[in-house]
Amino acid sequence: MALTTFHLFPLLPLELREEIYILATPPRIVHIQEDCEQYYEEFEEKLRTKPHQTNLHPSLTAFAFNWRRYAPVDYHSDQQTLESFGFTGAKPLRPPWHPSASTPEIPIDWLVEFPELAWEFTREGFLYSRAPIPPLLHTCVESRCTLMRNGYKLAFRTRSSGPRTWFNFVRDTLFLAFEDDSPNILSGCVWDFGQFDPEEMQKVQKLALEYASRYLLPQWNANRCQDDLSQVLRLFNNLKGLFLVEWSSKDWTEWLEECGQYPGTAMPKPRPVMQKGFTRPEPWTSVAMGEVDVLLQNCPLELVWPCGAWPTSVSGSCLTKHKHENGASACYFDYMSTFLKDGLTEYRDNIVSNSTVDALTPWLIPQISVVHMLTRSHHELISEGRLKGLEYISGLQNEWADEVGAKLHPPTVDTAFENEYWHGLQDSRPATNTYEWDVEQQMSWWMQLGGVPTTGGDLPQ
């Protein structure tokens, strides 16, 4: 029987209203960034020319396995103290932590001689995000209290500043940017989380790492790959999901602006979100990477998007080789994610069993996924490119099937097919025989044996 009436929302039972509040608040991708009180050059100048009150925070001990190799051994200070002249203070100086082999002492007068180390240890700043705040946190008292009871809180404090970002440690995903130009002395890898609070890091359950999809390449150094990711997992030690990001929204925005495509309708510009008279960036969403995303590089570039295909770290050669050796239905990303997870497990077990300094508790090895994290506008653009790529590959496969059906001799079929279709592809590629042959082999395999490449995830509704 069709409903003829609908209860007003305030008249619904409280349990239903609370359930609606949660359902109306989708999980978010929260890109955390750092804002420092001063630039490194200013910090270095101040450290060199002015008296500097330097204090070390006890939470630095969580990162000691990375920074202790920089600590001095048998250091003797030449700096004179009041105690050497017979003066005593009312309160003795208390070290920030008890020095040991795993957490050695960092003398302050030694630290100020090394500005880069001092910057990592003592700089002041805060962590923030431009991710839109869930609207129901600011709608009414009831909706705000409901969300807070269900895990939404201000999070990501630093050693010098309180938390500023609304985050749900169970539902939301923390996004860390790739920073290969930073020393990252505390984090020990290309993602800088050295200013995060260790207790909060242990609460994060879903983590996304920019450009980490490169670790799915077979030729990537296994030890480097496992070491980088283990640095992350050792501190974010309760993760349930680790997302290796291929394309991110900030890269697509920069790329499209460089191409000058935003003024036209073919390239949709991210839609800002209006909040109280000012705009906020469009929220990011996550979609699984598909095999077709890799093969778009082998399609005529002008066919897929007006300014060509954005490259992927996973090469078409690796993808096609895997499919050829394991069957057309074998998913490359599932296989490599499992392979990487097994490698991280073995690497962790070796570290834990061979550690002579730290008493280590094995950290969790989460489920690994390869994704794009983009705005809805960018996802719509990818969906359009995927469809064009699939239509192009399907057209080649149908043409090949028609030629084979005509019972032409295979070498004749191959030559005729190349003459008709390969000319445009060659024009889009560098003039190196090795590269052309590699791409040609890939396309020949997909036309003859490849079937339909996977498209990845669908655009979130």
Q: Which residues of 408-427 are buried (b: 16+ CB within 10 A; e: fewer)?
A: eeeeebbeebeeebbeebee
Please give the pLDDT value at position 21: 97
- Higher local confidence (pLDDT), 19 or 53: 19
How confident is the model over 403-428, as a mean pLDDT? Answer: 57
How confident is the model over 83-95, as a mean pLDDT? Answer: 61
Please give the pLDDT value at position 108: 85
One-letter identity of residue 366: P
Least confident range of 59-63, 100-104, 179-183, 266-270 = 266-270
Please give the pLDDT value at position 130: 93
CB 202 within 8 A of CB 303: no
Over residues 26-69, the pLDDT tens digits come to: 999 999 999 998 888 898 888 887 776 678 999 999 999 999 99
Please give the pLDDT value at position 221: 64
> Which residues on adjacent β-strands are paired with residue 13?
none
How confident is the model over 160-179, as a mean pLDDT? Answer: 96
State the pTM of this model.
Answer: 0.86
Mean pLDDT of the chain: 83
- Higher local confidence (pLDDT), 7 or 104: 104
Please give the pLDDT value at position 50: 75
For residue 435, name the pLDDT band (cuts at 50, 70, 90): very low
How confident is the model over 246-259, as a mean pLDDT? Answer: 81
pLDDT at 436 over 80: no
Residue 325 phi/psi, 5-degree rounding, is -85, -25
- Side-chain half-sphere CA neighbours of 190 within 13 A: 17
Q: What percent of the chain has pLDDT over 90?
A: 44
Q: What percent of the chain has pLDDT over 70?
A: 79
Q: Which residues of 25-56 are buried (b: 16+ CB within 10 A; e: fewer)?
A: beebbbbbebebeeeeeebeeebeeeeeeeeb
Query: Which residue intervals of 50-140 are DSSP H helices?
Result: 64-67, 108-111, 115-122
Q: How many CB atoms lie within 10 A of CB 392?
A: 18
- Higher local confidence (pLDDT), 413 or 7: 7
CB 78 within 8 A of CB 6: no
Residues 101 and 353: their CA atoms lie apart, in Å, by 18
Please give the pLDDT value at position 276: 46
How confident is the model over 16-22, as a mean pLDDT? Answer: 96
CB 21 within 8 A of CB 136: yes
Over residues 298-343, the pLDDT tens digits come to: 887 777 765 555 678 888 888 888 888 888 888 889 999 999 999 9
